[in-house]
Amino acid sequence: MVGSALIRNLEKEGFTNLIFRTHAELDLLDRDVVEDFFRIEKPEYVFLAAAKVGGIVANNTYPVDFLQDNLRIQMNVIEAAHKNGAKKLLFLGSSCIYPKLAPQPIKEEYLLTGLLEPTNDAYALAKITGIKLCQSYNRQYGTEYIACMPTNLYGPYDNFDLEKSHVMPAMIRKFHEAKINHLPSVTLWGDGTPFREFLYSDDMARGCIHLMENFTPTKEQNEK
């Protein structure tokens, strides 16, 4: 979903020299394969949108997978980008990096000030590590690696599996099936009290392109 949104919007902006691979074409869990890709292609600007993602059930059922796979993807790509001279990298994380009981609205300085939501803490820890890895490369090597934390995304090519998807695609599917089956109601998880933010994937993509073109992390931001 995220990768395809980035490609659509980069093409709309007139970029034609795009290098991208599907999961079947490039296994980011394989360090040697990633190294070979970067060595051959030499991308100058890297959008790291790849990740193992899922909803509450998937995160809570497979925490080892979510922690290990995301750590490997991030380490492999960021290391290879640096070794092969990428000018800039944008790493996409998740708003679940913030404490479960963080004050609202959430501010960046709330990161690592409290306990994470236990149902997806493995995924959150992987993403926090990705942020710190970008900051550490910037501090040690003077790179320009950006960490961007979008809120709950939805859009074309989302995962609509009721057990593994995020909340928005799950609701879309439930409403759609209720309509075509003429059901009087749908059942949603939870008690109805949480507030959620949602962001359309193409809006997120335009924001990422803007950051890549206009934003450079400061020394103070790299040391937080």
Residues designated as active site:
123
Q: How far apart are CA 148 and CA 118, in angstroms?
A: 22
